[in-house]
Chain A
């Protein structure tokens, strides 16, 4: 692989383009005519063009030189995504404050400078600040921490 960044970008575009065409046809979005376009007209044209661009990009990448992809930051990627997903899943159940603590602790682990004696005060501080700003201040309808605080 001489130009991995272009190759993968091309394949990504190709995949999105083909998926758009496939979903449009399977779900039966009418294409219509140029005078009266149906809901499928625009997406199918876009999907086709995107797939074509992806194909050309991937094809060209085989003949050109490019920088290597480099290491993927897998740990930050996984921890930050997981933290955000957990926040979403827990915020309405256990409340805003615990959800923030989980998010901060998980995402802090992604740093090479991680130290528990820093992460815990940060998590608690952000949780308290957010409850004060968003729930007390802006009046957002979300529980703070029903288990402990009762609201």
Chain B
């Protein structure tokens, strides 16, 4: 069996002492970030990115991946103990998880979250191992037309699946594409929108944009409302779920894993959407005796399984097509580019050790998280009580140093401040920044492929529709957009995001 041989290569890479260490550092940092409310995985990864420049490529990706799925574990701890999502993928876990904690079942809720996450992590790692190779083979047949169509689909997906108004999503995508135009035009070497600033001839740095909009913007937004939160970090006892609990969490975990795996692959999907969808699906299927919202174990298991599964499978399009499905994956692509690797279908053939090493390390990381989280949960619970007014100056310091160390240029930090203001304005106007970030990273690739495709087809735009794969991808994008625009679905969509 191919997959066994491949996984053996992967475990060979991932089990080296250095890589185990980086995986461990990654999941610990991820858990910490997930636990602390107010720092999301995007700004955290952006902040820690400079620290990975010196690492070998495999190690840096293993560590960054660990931060991402570690944050899913940590986020649930905060959600359950203090009714605040540690990060956005655990928003729904607050509903039933915190109720369980109030009924004295905090330990069981935490264990359920960890076990469901681990279960989902194991299955979705297998899915990644099974589906990535055929997808990469298919992607090798792709030409400029298909790549352009795929990116259009990705951006449409990010608009449809993002919360808020479709029109605003579209505007954010267009703005992101425009920001991506800043810099030197690849074909004509003509500088665009650089205003004579030499540092802009390579365009805005992705990390700067991400850290400004997500990091600084988030901090300013958080300082808007400074009412203190009540912390109910009681002593946690009774971690072990009963046999009845196990029986009740099995179905929801399975359904959550399935739903999360599918939604993670979709462009614009990932952990956040997966957790919401799994909770609303579960609330239609299950009939817990206490009802949802009153501490039903199903309401913890399903979204926690889904967000972890979604976090893992969102690596599939990133590693096989080079196309990010969410901002975290866009940052991963940024990290790979900095390491001199071009993410895409060739990675699997040229660097099987890297690809399978990351896959294997994900499973190892999940084991570490399970082992780490259950016994250490008391320590994480204490971390939650770290007051935000001491935390955010540290976030600012690390953001500023992180951006400064990318190239040792003050200009980059000025841009960071600029994007921080922009990020806060977006937050005030309820403009979801994720589509902008995706468009920004896809923009240059999209323009290049579009121009090449048009050259190849003698300036005939219908060639995008007549080529089978690109035609099909664009048709899916069109259907997606039309469906989202249909009034009945629109009402449902708004309802779904309100829940």
Contacts and interface: CB of A to CB of B under 8 A. Distances in A.
Contacts of A104: 393, 396-397
Contact of B223 (A29, A73, A126): A73
Contacts of A69: 428
B167 A56 contact: yes
A34 B454 contact: yes
Given A85-B414, A91-B404, A9 B171 contact: yes
Interface in B141-169: 165, 167-168
Contacts of B400: 84, 87-88, 103
Interface string B409-453: 011011011001100110011110000000000000001001100
Interface string B345-389: 000000000000000000000000000000000000000000111
A128 to B, nearest CB: 12
A76 B392 CA distance: 11
B223 A9 contact: no
Contacts of A126: 393-394, 397
A5 B428 contact: yes
B319 interface: no
Given A35-B455, A60-B167, A118 B420 contact: no
A25 B31 CA distance: 50
Interface residues of A, number: 73
Contacts of B420: 80-81, 84
Contacts of A8: 429
A39 B190 contact: yes
B196 to A, nearest CB: 10
Contacts, number: 183
Given A47-B178, A50-B171, A80-B220, A39 B393 contact: no
Given A50-B171, A57-B168, A80-B220, A37 B397 contact: no
Given A33-B459, A80-B219, A111-B226, A89 B390 contact: no
B389 A108 contact: yes
Contacts of A107: 392-393, 396
Contact of B461 (A30, A34, A54): A34
Q: Give the interface SS of chain B, mostly helix, strand, loop or mixed.
A: helix
Interface in A53-83: 53-54, 56-57, 60, 69-73, 76-77, 80-81, 83
A76 B397 contact: no
Nearest to A49: B174
B181 A5 contact: no
B417 A81 contact: yes
B171 A103 contact: no
B305 to A, nearest CB: 33
A9 B451 contact: no
Interface in B458-489: 458-459, 461
B116 to A, nearest CB: 35
B204 to A, nearest CB: 14
B428 A35 contact: no
A112 to B, nearest CB: 5
B405 A140 contact: yes
B393 A88 contact: no
Contacts of A80: 216, 219-220, 223, 396, 420
B410 A42 contact: no
A86 B221 CA distance: 21
B139 to A, nearest CB: 24
Interface string A1-38: 00001101110110011001001100101100111111
Contacts of B424: 73, 77
A77 B185 CA distance: 34
Interface string B179-219: 00100010110101100000000000000000000001001
17 contacts: A5-B429, A9-B431, A35-B455, A43-B192, A50-B178, A73-B220, A88-B400, A91-B413, A103-B397, A107-B393, A110-B223, A111-B223, A118-B390, A122-B393, A126-B394, A141-B408, A142-B404
Interface of A: 5-6, 8-10, 12-13, 16-17, 20, 23-24, 27, 29-30, 33-39, 41-43, 46-47, 49-50, 53-54, 56-57, 60, 69-73, 76-77, 80-81, 83-85, 87-89, 91-92, 96, 100, 103-104, 107-108, 110-114, 118-119, 122-123, 126, 130, 134, 138, 140-142
Interface of B: 51, 54, 165, 167-168, 170-171, 174-175, 177-178, 181, 185, 187-188, 190, 192-193, 216, 219-221, 223-224, 226, 387-390, 392-394, 396-397, 400-401, 404-405, 408, 410-411, 413-414, 416-417, 420-421, 424-425, 428-431, 447, 450-451, 454-455, 458-459, 461
